[in-house]
Structures are given as C-alpha cells and as structure tokens.
C-alpha cells in the first residue's frame, strides 16, 4: 500500500476492514446458531429427526390358540390381508383418485364414495378394508400390477396382519367368544382371558426414507416376540356338537325364544358342553345379534320351578326335618296359606318324599319348606351354591342373589317349589352335581391349562375339592328317589333311556309378566335336570327351554327329550353305552331294563356289580329298599337271593349294608322299620296351622 496513492490506500483499508468485520460477524452468528442448534435445541431436533427417519415399528403378537380337552383347535390366529392407503403419496405422484378409487371399490365390493372419502384425506395412512377374503387380496394385487395402476403401488398396499379364525364356526361360540377388528376379546373366554391370549406388542426399530418407506429394520423378526398364551378348555367338541344339535332342533320345533344345555362331570365339575340358542358365527360378527351372542347358560336368570324341589327335599332329609318314609299331607291337591292357594296337577292326599318328587307335588314341597322355615330353607339353597356366582371365566355371569330379607310363610311355601327365586342354568348344574357325586359342591371347571408360546406351562387349574353340601347317604337316597321321576308314573318319563337308570327332575315355571304384577299365563320355562347312570353318575345334563309356544310347554315335553338324546349320545360316545342288544355296561355296573313304580325304591332285578380300576368284579352291591313296606322289601331282596334280618314294623328307614355298598359273603342285609317311616314331623295344615303327620 506504500506505493498507492494515499486516497486509494485509505479506501482499500476501509474495504478490508468492512470485509473482516463482516466475516467476523458472520462467523460469530454461525457459531451462535450452531451452539443454539446443537446444545440448546439438540434434544428436540434429534427427536424430530428420529420421528422422520427412525421409527418404532409395532409388531402385533400372534394371539394364543384356544383348544378343547382333546387338543382340537377352537380358535386360531392366521395370516389375514388388509388394504392400506397413503393418500399424500398418491397425490404427490399425481394419481387420478377418482379412477383408482372406483376400480378399488369394485375389487373390494365397497361403495365407491366411501373409498374416495378415505383416499382424499390429507394423511399418510388409512385403512381401506381389513380382513379381506383371499380372492379380494389377489384381485387388488393384480390391479396394482397393471400398467395403469403400477405407479400407485407406493400409495396402495396389501399387507399381512394377524386375523382370528374359528374353524368350527358356531360350535361353542358362546364359550369361546369372539374378538373385534383390532383383535381384542369382546365375548366369552376371548374376553375374560384377553390378557393371556393377546400377549405383548413388540416394537422394532426401523429406518424410513424421505418417501416414508421402511428400508431397514433390525431386532426381532415378525415371527418372534411376546406371543399370546394358549388356553385349553374342558369342552369336548363332539359332546358340544350333540348338545347344540339337539337344543337347536327343540327350540325350532317348539318355537321357543331360546334355550341352553350344560353337560358336566359331577366328580370334577368339568364342563363338557355349554350350548345356547340362538347362536352366532364369531367369524361374522357383523351379521350377529345381541340375542344370538348372549350366553343364556350363565347370563339368564329365571324361576326354576319344580327342579328346586330336589334341593328342598334333600336339605330337609339332611337336616332330619323329614324322614325318607314319612307321609306328607298334600290336602287333595289344593292348599291355602295366607292369601295364596297352591294347586297340584295330581290330586293326592298323602305322599312320601320320593312321591313328592316323582309326582312333582307343589303342596308337598311347600309343606317340607314350611317345616324347615325361612332360615333353614335359605341355608339349604346356599349350601347347594344358589345365591352366588360359580366363578366360571365367562363374562356377565348373573349372581341370582336372594335372601336380602327374611321370607314370609307364603314365600317360604312358594320358594320351596321354585317360584319366587331366581337361578341360572349353571347354578342348577352345579347344585345337581353335588347330589350326583355323593354330597360335595364342586365349582364348575372350564379352563384347565395355559401354556406360553414355547409350550411351557404357565397356569394349571385342577378340579375343586369342593365343600360338603349334604351327607353322602342322603345324596344316594335322593339319587334313588329321582329315578322314580323317569319311571312309569313319574313326570319325566320322556327322559328315560332304555338299558340304564336315569335320575332327574322336570320343571315347568311360569314367567313373571313384563308389565304389572303376577305371572303370565302364556310364557313358560320348561326344564329338566338329571344324571346317568343313577348308580354311578358319569354326566350331569341340564336343559332349559325358554318360552316354548303352544300348550306343550311342560318340562317333560320340551326339555326331557333333549336330555334323553344328549345323555344317550354322550354316554355312547364315551363308551359307556352299547348300541344295542342285551345288558348294557354303563360305568362299572351291568344294568338291565327295569320299570318300577313310584311307590318303591327298587334296583334292577339283576344285582349290579362293582368293579375295580382294572375292571375285575369285586362283588354284588346292595339294592335299596328305603321307604318300602316289609313285604315289598322282602320280595325285592328275595328276587336277588339275599337273606334279610327284619327289625321293627312299618316302612324301611335304615339298611345295613347301605344301598350301593358291596354285599357280604353271607349275602345278608339288616333292615330297620318304623311306623310311618320314622317319627312324625310337623307339617303345615290349612286349618290348624301346624299338624302332626300320621
């Protein structure tokens, strides 16, 4: 600059100063901005970048499988197909939305305006249609391969997602349940055990490019992750099919509103079948109805009618309120208490407890209930499990509570024969199971095992040990009494099965009016509960038919035939009943057809034999002569070459060995008789209030 003119040198220095100052300011600004971005806003910007490029890809787990007791799949998860759209990508590529939307709607059998509405949204993801049929998925794929639509493949995709499938369609639908479009349980076991079946979502780290396409992902493969647990039920698909077939046929033929059938194992409480009608297809929930999805066996509360007489008589015998041979005044078929008159369909004056059950006497049951009193009758019902839920892993089970207040005498009388009290079908099945298994109340069992995806046992549910409901001797006596219901002169002859002895009870109950007080003369519930074989029960079957049309609404007309067919087919399937010819082996006893009168507790003419575990004969068992006169008891024993020691006079009240127990080598039985079958017990009399029975 020394050689430059002073004026030009000053100007050059000024320019250089300005340049240096500008550069300094620029570098300072750049450094400040870098500090701002990298230090002060670094975390926020990093998260924004990760949201744009690094994404968590949600991998839905495969829902666990539901199996029946024989490991047959009832609910499985399969690969389904769905169509998704990226409307922004379609617009960015200049796709004609009207043309492609119309074609897509045709291939998917959807309204065109609905598809276009989804494609015109300003979003990056929309479901177009989920759970496609295979042919629909193939048609959409073929469309996207066509030259006219190939450039839309980035905006339209057919993806694979887990889909629930029920291979047996309606079979056991009310037990298994169903899932919604997102795979969450909404009915049955699917809902109640949703947490175990669903599993846990797996999140995979992925990298997406500017177009939003997944170009890299690492971590677990789609087949891995926390899959749902597998659940094994006690249901047997064959028995379930039998129950549903017979129930559906009866409901349709009787023009009933609906019905339910439950088949259980009395010793363990295992539910072999639980059928409700009407039903639904869980694969097609869109066409199901609320009525069709309702599991009547656990949700519906109803007045049971005469089936409750079983528990009234059993509780009274267990409490020694009455004796087996005691005569109960039935007042010639009409009995008035307070402002209520009770009628019987059969005109009888005096009946034994067995005859009260066989002839289904309302008045006889009322007398027994009044003898026990309000508190005593409530205690009996509670011992049999009524008034509380059974605890089945099914949603919506009704409690059917009672006993919030003390019953008046009129209520005691009516409740004793099943009017004025609410129960569920599953409660009836549980209560009758306590009689069939010898006196223990065992909770119903539906789920036995839960395994994880590796096959390891997560949960195991064993049969409930139960609690004592009644004395085993009383249970055996009630079982013998209930056989009279299905024999000649009983009210449940339509439930009789040739070759085996059936214990059971009919029920026919009026339903309360929908509006106002009292009962509707045109709405009834017909029912039958029972077990077979009576000597060694294999199954307990409960049948409820709701509002059968016409005059044939009695339990013997609508429910007992269903019981017979379900029981017979189930025992045959289990190998306990031969198809035809000669004596039929049922359980451990050899039984021949035998019809007995309602006035006697008589076993078949050929003495049954008990068997050990290996099937070897241990010896003949003692027939029952409880409640018989000495003459008839001696005749029964003589027919089987049994010597009898007789003590006392009147009716048989005790026998040693007890009925069903092995005979001794001397084939001798001791029977004790008392006048009237035991000491007189108080029964209600219409005129005098309380009267001693003769």
Instruction: Provide the β-strand partners of residue 685.
Output: 689
Strands 258-264 and 539-546: antiparallel
* pLDDT at residue 592 in the model: 30
CATH 3.40.710.10 domain span(s) along the chain: 243-281+297-685
Q: What is the predicted pLDDT for the residue at 608?
A: 37
What is the CATH architecture of 243-281+297-685?
3-Layer(aba) Sandwich (3.40)
Query: Quick one: pLDDT at residue 649?
Result: 67
Whole-number pLDDT of residue 29: 87
CA distance 105 to 132: 13
Dist. CA 176–CA 201, nearest whole Å: 23
Q: Which CATH class is domain 57-228?
A: alpha beta
635: tokens are 């005749």
Residue 371: DSSP 8-state: H
pLDDT, average across residues 176-199? 92
According to DSSP, the residues that pair with 684 across neighbouring strands are: 690
Residue for token digits 């990508």? 89
Q: In which residue ranges of the chain is CATH 3.90.1310.10 found?
A: 57-228
Confidence category of residue 650, pLDDT binned at 50, 70, 90: low
The neighbouring-strand residues paired with 467 are 441
Q: pLDDT-derived band of residue 451, with 50, 70 and 90 as boundaries?
A: very high
| Percent of residues in the chain assigned helix, strand, coil, to nearest 5 | 35, 25, 40
CA 186 – CA 179 distance, rounded (Å)? 5
Write out the two tokens for 572. 């045959």
pLDDT of residue 617: 38
Confidence of residue 42 (pLDDT cuts 50, 70, 90): low
Higher pLDDT: 120 or 595? It is: 120
Query: CA angle at residue 568 from 567 to 573, to 5 degrees?
Result: 95
Per-residue confidence (pLDDT) for residue 384, from 0 to 100 = 96
Instruction: Flag whether pLDDT at 529 surpasses 70.
Output: yes
Percent above pLDDT 90 for the chain: 48
Is the separation of the CB atoms in 535 and 587 below 8 Å?
yes
Say what the pTM is: 0.74
Residue for token pair 């049309």 = 549
What's the pLDDT at 59? 56
Residue 45 reports pLDDT greater than 70: no
In angstroms, what CA-CA distances link 400 with 40, 214, 442? 65, 56, 18
| Active site amino acids | 306
Distance CA 1, CA 6 (A): 8
> Does position 503 have pLDDT exceeding 80, yes or no?
yes
Tokens 């009260």 belong to residue:
356
**H-helix segments, 384-444:** 409-416, 425-436
Confidence of residue 584 (pLDDT cuts 50, 70, 90): very low
User: Crossing angle for the helix pair 472-483 and 309-318, nearest 10 degrees?
Assistant: 140
- Whether the CB-CB separation of 571 and 590 falls below 8 Å is answered with no
Instruction: Please provide the average confidence, as pLDDT, over all residues in the chain.
Output: 82
Taking alpha carbons only, the member of 543, 553, 568 closest to residue 277 is: 543
Confidence of residue 591 (pLDDT cuts 50, 70, 90): very low
- The DSSP result for 291-324, as a single string, is HHH--HHHH--B--GGGGHHHHHHHHHHTTSS-T
Looking at residue 58, its pLDDT comes to 53
Query: In whole angstroms, how far apart are CA 517 and each of 422, 511, 512, 514, 692?
Result: 16, 11, 7, 8, 36
In this prediction, residues 10-16 reach a mean pLDDT of: 79
């Amino acid at each position: 600059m020394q050689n430059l003119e002073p004026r030009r040198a000053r100007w050059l220095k000024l320019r250089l100063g300005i340049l240096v100052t500008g550069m300094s300011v620029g570098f300072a600004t750049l450094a400040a901005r870098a500090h701002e971005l990298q230090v002060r806003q670094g975390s926020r910007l990093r998260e924004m970048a990760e949201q744009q490029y690094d994404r968590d890809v949600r991998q839905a787990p495969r829902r666990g499988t539901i199996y029946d007791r024989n490991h047959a799949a009832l609910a499985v998860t399969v690969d389904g197909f769905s169509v998704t759209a990226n409307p922004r990508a379609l617009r960015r590529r200049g796709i004609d939305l009207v043309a492609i939307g119309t074609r897509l709607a045709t291939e998917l059998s959807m309204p065109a305006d609905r598809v276009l509405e989804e494609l015109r949204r300003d979003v990056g993801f929309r479901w177009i249609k989920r759970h496609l049929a295979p042919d629909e998925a193939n048609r959409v794929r073929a469309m996207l391969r066509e030259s006219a639509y190939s450039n839309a493949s980035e905006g339209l995709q057919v993806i694979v997602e887990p889909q629930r499938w029920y291979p047996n369609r309606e079979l056991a639908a009310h037990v298994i349940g169903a899932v919604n479009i997102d795979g969450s349980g909404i009915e049955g076991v699917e809902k109640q055990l949703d947490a175990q079946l669903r599993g846990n979502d797996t999140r995979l780290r992925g990298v997406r490019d500017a177009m939003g396409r997944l170009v890299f992902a690492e971590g677990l493969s789609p087949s891995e992750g926390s899959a749902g647990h597998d659940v094994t039920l006690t249901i047997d698909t064959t028995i379930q099919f039998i129950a549903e077939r017979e129930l559906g046929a009866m409901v349709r033929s009787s023009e009933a509103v609906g019905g339910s059938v439950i088949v259980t194992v009395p010793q363990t409480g295992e539910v072999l079948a639980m059928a409700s009608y009407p039903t639904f297809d869980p694969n097609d929930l869109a066409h199901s109805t609320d009525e069709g999805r309702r599991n009547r066996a656990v949700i519906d509360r109803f007045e049971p009618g005469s089936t409750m007489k079983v528990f009234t008589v059993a509780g009274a015998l267990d409490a020694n309120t009455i004796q087996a041979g005691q005569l109960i005044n039935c007042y010639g078929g009409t009995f008035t208490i307070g402002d209520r008159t009770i009628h019987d369909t059969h005109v009888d004056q005096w009946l034994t407890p067995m005859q009260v059950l066989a002839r289904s006497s309302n008045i006889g049951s009322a007398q027994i209930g009044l003898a026990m009193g309000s508190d005593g009758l409530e205690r009996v019902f509670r011992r049999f499990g009524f008034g509380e839920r059974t605890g089945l892993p099914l949603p919506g089970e009704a409690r059917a509570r009672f006993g919030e207040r003390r019953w008046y005498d009129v209520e005691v009388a009516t409740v004793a024969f099943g009017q004025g009290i609410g129960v569920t079908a599953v409660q009836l099945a549980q209560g009758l199971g306590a009689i069939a298994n010898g006196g223990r109340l065992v909770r119903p069992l539906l789920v036995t095992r839960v395994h994880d995806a590796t096959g390891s046992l997560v949960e195991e549910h064993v049969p409930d040990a139960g609690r004592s409901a009644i004395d085993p001797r009383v249970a055996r006596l009630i079982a013998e009494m209930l056989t009279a219901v299905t024999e000649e002169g009983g009210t449940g002859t339509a439930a009789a099965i040739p070759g085996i002895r059936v214990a059971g009870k009919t029920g026919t109950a009026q339903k309360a009016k929908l509006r106002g007080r009292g009962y509707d003369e045109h709405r009834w519930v017909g029912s039958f509960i029972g077990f077979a074989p009576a000597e060694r029960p294999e199954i307990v079957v409960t049948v409820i038919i709701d509002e059968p049309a016409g005059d044939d609404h009695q339990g013997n007309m609508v429910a007992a035939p269903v019981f017979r067919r379900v029981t017979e087919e189930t025992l045959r399937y289990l190998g306990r009943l031969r198809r035809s010819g000669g004596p039929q082996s049922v359980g451990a006893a050899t039984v021949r057809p035998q019809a007995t009168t309602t006035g006697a507790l008589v076993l078949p003419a050929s003495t049954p034999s008990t068997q050990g575990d290996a099937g070897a004969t241990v010896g003949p068992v003692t027939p029952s002569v409880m409640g018989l006169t000495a003459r008839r008891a001696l005749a029964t024993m003589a027919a089987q070459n049994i010597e009898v020691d007789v003590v006392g006079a009147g009716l048989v009240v005790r026998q040693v060995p007890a009925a069903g127990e092995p005979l001794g080598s001397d084939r001798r039985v001791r029977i004790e008789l008392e006048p009237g079958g035991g000491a007189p017990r108080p029964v209600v009399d219409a005129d005098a209030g309380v009267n001693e029975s003769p």
